[in-house]
Amino acid sequence: MARKPAGPVRYVDLLLRKSQVVRGTAARDILSLKAQEVKGRAWAKTNRYEIRRIFRENLSAYKLTVKRPDFDAAVHALLEGESDCLWAYDSSRYSRKGAGDVLKILDNPGKRLVFDINGLDTDRVEDRRRIIEDAERDREYSRVLSQKVRDTKAEQRDEGKWLAGAPYGLKVTKKRKLKHGKFWPVIERIHNEAAEGLSNRKIALGLTADGFRSTRGGAFRANTVGTILRNPVYLGWQITRVNHVAQVYLNAKGKPVRVFAKGVEGIPQETWDKHRRIAAGWERRKNLPTVEEQGKPVKRSPASGLMWCEGGGRDPKKGHTATIHGQSFRCGRVNLGLDCPAPVTGMRTSVERVLAEEWRKKLSTANPLDPALLAVAEGWVELSQPEESKKEADARGQLKLAEEAVARIDRLEAAGAYPGRDGEATYVKQRRAAVEDVENARKDWESIAQPMADISVLTDPVRAAKLWESSDDHYRGQLLRLAIERVYLLKAPYSGGRFTVDRLDIVWKKPRGWKPPKEEGEQLGTSGS
C-alpha cells in the first residue's frame, strides 16, 4: 500500500471510463477519456489536490459478468486511506449497478466522492439523496437500454441477419447475410477430411504444412479445427451460444433460421452428419489401432515434461518444450507442424540413459549444502510421506496469512488509518491480537514441521540404483523431478555422433525461498550440469 507523506498534501484519484470498446485503439488513447482527464486535472488544481493515480477503463459498468479491476482498485484506495478523494466525470461513468456502489462510500465518514458534471459531492450532506437517486436512475436506464438492445438483436436474429464478425471462411454482405469468403475452400477441406476419418490433429498439421493460417494468423491447431467442425453456421443456419458452444438458433416457432445469402450453399448435410457420427464414435476413423494394439500398455518416459528445445530459447514462458515423436524427443512446435528457429532431436532411450546417469552422479557427489540436494531433501518428504507433508504445508500457509495480517495493519497505520488517541489504542489492540495469531500459527507449524529428510537412499549409488531399477516409469519421473527443474536438449555438433551429456543442459532445482550467497565463495556445490 502506498504511504502518504506527512504534511497538508491531499491526494485524489481520477476514474475515467468509456463503455464502448473501440477495436484497434488503446483504451488510454480514446478521445472521451482524454476529455475526462482534462476536466479531472482542472478540478484537482482548483481544489488543491495532488493527483495520485489515474484509472482508465474501456468497458461496461452495468454487466454483472464484466470485471472492473481498476474501479475496484480506485474504491479500495479511497476506503483504505491511500487517497483522500475519488473523482469521476459523471455518475454514469462511475457505476451503473445501483446505490450499492455509492453507499459503501457514503457510509464511511470522511471518504470523498465527486461527480463533476452532476455537481455532486459527498462532502455536502444535501447531495447524499441526489447521489443515491442518480445511481438508481443510471441503473434503470442501463437495464431498459440493455433490454431494448436484446429485443432488437432478437428481431434481427429471427430475420436471419448475422450480428457479429464473420466466421472464418465467410463474409458479411450489406444486408448482414453470410456468403463464401476467401478461405471457404479451407472450410470445405476441413469438413471433407473429417468425413473421410482424419483426426482434428492430422487435419491441422496438413493445413499448416500447406501454408494455411487460422483467423488470427497463427498455425492451425486441433481445437481450432474442432470448433469449425462443430459450428452449425457452416450449414447455413443462424446460431446461438450456450456455454460458449455454438448451437442452431430456433425462432419462436421452434424452427431454424437461414443466415446464408440467397443462392449460397453451405457444407452438405451428409458430409456434416458423417463426420459428426465419427466424432461421436458411431463410425470408425481411418488408421485407428487394432484391438490388439490398443491392449498394449503405452510406455511413458520418465523425462516427459522435463525436456525443452534449446532452439526456442531459455524463457520458460516463450520457450519450446521437447515432446516424444516416435522414438525420439523433438521440439514440440515441430511436432505440431509449427516453426522453430533451431529445432533439436535426440533418441529417447539415449536421453533417458544419460539423464538418469547425471541424476545419480549429482546426488552421490554433490556437497550436502548444494541447493539441489536441499531441494531433494525437501521434495523427498512430500514424495515419501505425502500426508505429513500436506499438513505441514497447510500449517505453513496459515503462518503466512497471519504474518500478512500484521503487515497489513502496519500499512494501514502508516497511511493514517488510526488517527487520534482512540485510533492509536485500536491499532495497538489489533496489532497485539495479530501478533498473537502469528505466534500461535508458528507453534502449530513447528509442531508439525518435519526435520530434514533422510535421503541416504538417494545419495548412496548402490541403493539409488536399486530404487531406480525397481521403480516404474512414473515413479522414476518423480525421482528425477526431486532434483531437476528442466532439461534443455542441445543440437548435436555433427550428424551420427554418440549421445553424451554435452547434449543436455540440466537446470537443477533449488529449495523454496533459496537465495544465492551474497559473498563469493560461500556457495558450496553447483547448480548447473
Q: What is the pLDDT of residues 306-344, one digit of tens each?
A: 899 988 888 877 788 888 888 889 888 887 667 788 889
Confidence band, pLDDT 50/70/90 cuts, at residue 177: very high
**Residue 267: inside a domain:** yes
Q: 443 lies in a domain?
A: no
Residue 435 lies in a domain: no
Nearest to 69 by CA among 82, 79, 81, 55: 55
CA–CA separation, 83 and 53 (whole Å)? 9
Q: Do 41 and 81 form a contact (C-beta atoms < 8 A)? A: no
Angstrom CA distances, 332 to 304, 310, 335, stand at 11, 11, 5
Residues 470 and 515 grouped into a single domain: yes
Query: Do residue 504 and residue 363 come from a single domain?
Result: yes
pLDDT tens digits for 117-129?
888 888 888 888 8
- Do 463 and 522 share a structural domain? yes
How buried is 346 (Cβ within 10 angstroms: 0-12 exposed, 13-18 middle, 19+ buried)? buried
Final residue of a structural domain among 102, 125, 142: 142
Residue 40 lies in a domain: yes
State how far Cα 262 lies from the chain centre: 43
Whether 366 and 490 have beta carbons less than 8 Å apart is answered as no
225 Cβ contact list (under 8 Å, min separation 6): 190, 194, 200, 203, 204, 207
Residue 93 in contact with residue 121, Cβ under 8 Å? no
Kindly state the DSSP code that residue 143 receives in the 8-state scheme.
Answer: H
In whole angstroms, what is the distance from residue 72 CA to residue 86 CA? 12
Residue 354: all three cell numbers together: 544419460
- Are residues 113 and 182 both part of a single domain? no
Q: Are residues 341 and 465 in the same domain?
A: yes
| Number of structural domains in the chain | 3
Mean pLDDT of the chain: 80
249-270 mean pLDDT = 88
Compute the average pLDDT of residues 251-277. Answer: 89
Per-residue model confidence (pLDDT) at position 447: 65
Asked if 158 and 250 touch (Cβ cutoff 8 Å), the reply is: no
**Does any domain span residue 407?**
no
Q: Are residues 357 and 474 in the same domain?
A: yes
- Same domain membership, residue 132 and residue 178: no
Select from 506, 478, 513 the least CA-distant residue to 374.
513
| Residue 397: count of CB within 10 angstroms of its CB | 12
Burial of 306 (0-12, 13-18, 19+ CB in 10 A): buried
Query: Do 105 and 220 lie in a common domain?
Result: no
Is the predicted pLDDT of residue 101 greater than 80, yes or no? no
Tell me how far apart the alpha carbons of residues 440 and 392 are, in angstroms, rounded to a whole number.
15
pLDDT tens-digit readout, 149-169: 777 777 877 888 888 888 999
State residue 353's pLDDT score: 92
- Residue range 228-242: average pLDDT? 90
Which of 108-122, 150-164, 275-289, 514-528 has the weakest average pLDDT? 514-528
- Is the pLDDT reported for residue 59 higher than 80? no
CATH of the domain at 127: 3.40.50.1390
What single-letter DSSP state applies at residue 88?
Answer: E
Domain match, 84 and 186 both: no
Amino acid at site 37:
E
Domain assignment present for residue 423? The answer is no
Residue bearing the bigger pLDDT, 460 or 337: 460
Structural domain range at position 183: 170-280
Strands 112-115 and 120-121: antiparallel
274 and 181 together in one domain: yes
In a domain, residue 495? The reply is yes
Residue 306 counted as domain residue: yes
Same domain, 238 and 339: no
Bridge partners of 346?
A: 329
Looking at the structure, do residues 212 and 180 belong to the same domain, yes or no? yes
| 371/524 Cα distance (integer angstroms) | 9
CATH number at residue 233: 3.90.1750.20
